[in-house]
Chains A and B, each alone.
Chain A
Amino acid sequence: DAGITQSPRHKVTETGTPVTLRCHQTENHRYMYWYRQDPGHGLRLIHYSYGVKDTDKGEVSDGYSVSRSKTEDFLLTLESATSSQTSVYFCAISEGTDTQYFGPGTRLTVL
């Protein structure tokens, strides 16, 4: 997985609770991404980062926020989780705006 870890790997939470997912890389790549993958929708970009403290929205950013205080860490926060945010979340990294490598994923269930 190209030196990418995600934590936790599985999480079950309740509606309305805050949740933070962590992506950690050891490749020193500039770009980091958060995707969600749902049946019938494929992979969709939530947010991405092009450097420390530099982030931007993707296709499905509503209800999510991100932070990147260090090159190696990219955090995804669900401020108040909803059942529609039940999904598999993947982090990805790239050196340039090109080939992306994916982490192992986090399976999140919101009850």
Chain B
Amino acid sequence: QKEVEQNSGPLSVPEGAIASLNCTYSDRGSQSFFWYRQYSGKSPELIMFIYSNGDKEDGRFTAQLNKASQYVSLLIRDSQPSDSATYLCAVISSGYGGSQGNLIFGKGTKLSVKP
């Protein structure tokens, strides 16, 4: 059973601080990694994807990938109250048969940014 693990939180940070969200995955063959943001009562919204080891930056967001450690993280700089949401880590499964290519989601980390 392929698994994606996240700390459920809530993670609370003050406005303007850096929020660090972490994710580990069990499928060593996975090559594609995604971060989604989900506001309460809404659908998941893609924030970033990363395929290669290292950092990928997009505005205030930085995704970090370490395939050797099977670890993905998302950093949010200058956190704003509007960043308060649940963040979902997702990994493309490298499994055989029907599961290959399917997204496996973590249960999400709830982030709260306090003004």
Contact = CB atoms under 8 A, between A and B. Distances in A.
Interface of A: 1, 33, 40-45, 48, 56-58, 90, 97-105
B103 A45 contact: yes
A54 B67 CA distance: 33
Nearest to B45: A102
B98 interface: yes
Given A57-B98, A90-B43, A98 B107 contact: no
B46 A99 contact: yes
B109 to A, nearest CB: 11
A42 B108 contact: yes
The 5 closest A-B pairs by CB, nearest first: A97-B101, A42-B107, A43-B105, A102-B43, A56-B98
Contacts of B108: 42
Contact of B107 (A1, A41, A56, A90): A41
A15 B102 CA distance: 31
Interface string B19-59: 00000000000001010100000111110010000000000
Nearest to B101: A97
A106 to B, nearest CB: 10
Contact of A97 (B34, B45, B92): B92
Nearest to A41: B107
Contact of A40 (B44, B46, B106, B107): B107
B88 interface: yes
B74 to A, nearest CB: 16
A55 to B, nearest CB: 10
Interface in B83-115: 88, 92, 98, 100-103, 105-108
